[in-house]
Amino acid sequence: MALEHAILVSLLEKPGSGYELARRFDRSIGYFWAATHQQIYRILKRMENDGWVEPREVAQQSRPDKKEYSVAAPGRAALAQWLHEPIEPESVRHELAVKIRGAAFDDPAALLHEVERHRRAHADRLAHYRAGELRDFTGPDAPAPDVGRELQHVVLRGGIAYEQMTLAWLDDVIATLHRLGAEKR
């Protein structure tokens, strides 16, 4: 389980409310660990009870008040402990791969649209990552690098590499499906 740790990391990078965390999980850190606001509020409450995070009421003008959380010492300690525990190299969970193998028992060509849709989604994500890289790390207006930024950047490079690889593979899948369709004729 790493969602609580992901939240701790995000709050250490910058304190914020549950809502703000949910938005971050739609962006940066959420690219590698997805979470909905329901999950986040639940875990935030548990971590507050355990003394891992501390809320601060922030009154806002022309917006609802919010609870801004920051990490307390026990939360930092819990994160440090987790960082020193080994984790299992994870196995991928690739639903599309199951579909592709399943297509052998249906019509392979019928999968083309689905695969092409996935290709577009991954191309969009890659463009998005690259724009973020330029804005935050390699562009002329990027902030000065430090340890935290370097580590964020290497994680983002991982996301970019993943999307590039996925695009190339989906092209391979599309070509294979075309070929199988052509052979049948």
Query: Which x/- pattern over 20-59 shows residues binding a second copy (rule: CB under 8 A)?
Result: ---------xxxxxx-------------------------
Give the Cα separation of 137 and 157 in Å (integer). 11
Kindly state whether residue 100 participates in binding a second copy, applying the rule CB under 8 A.
yes
Widest CA span in the chain? 68
β-strand partners of 53: 71
Kindly state whether residue 64 participates in binding DNA, applying the rule CB under 7 A.
yes
Give the Cα separation of 180 and 108 in Å (integer). 7
Q: Which secondary structure element, helix H or strand E, spans residue 140, and what is its range?
A: none
Kindly state whether residue 13 participates in binding a second copy, applying the rule CB under 8 A.
yes
- Enter the DSSP assignment of 136: I
- Token pair 């950047």 is found at 153
Q: Report long-range pairs for 145-150 (Cβ below 8 Å, ≥24 apart).
A: 148/13
- Encode 56-80: b = buried (16+ Cβ within 10 Å), e = exposed: eeeeeeeeeebbbbebbeebeebbe
Which of 49, 63, 101, 105: binder of DNA (CB under 7 A)? 63
Kindly state whether residue 17 participates in binding DNA, applying the rule CB under 7 A.
yes
Comparison of 35 and 177: residue with beta carbon closer to DNA: 35
Which of 14, 27, 32, 36: binder of DNA (CB under 7 A)? 36
Give the Cα separation of 98 and 30 in Å (integer). 24
Kindly state whether residue 27 participates in binding DNA, applying the rule CB under 7 A.
no
Q: Which residues bind a second copy (CB under 8 A)?
A: 2, 5-6, 8-9, 12-13, 29-34, 76, 79-80, 82-84, 86-87, 89-106, 108, 110-111, 114, 117-118, 121-122, 125, 147-148, 150-152, 154-155, 157-159, 161-162, 164-165, 168-169, 172-173, 176, 179-180
Q: Which residues bind DNA (CB under 7 A)?
A: 1-3, 17-20, 22-23, 34-39, 41-42, 44-45, 60-67
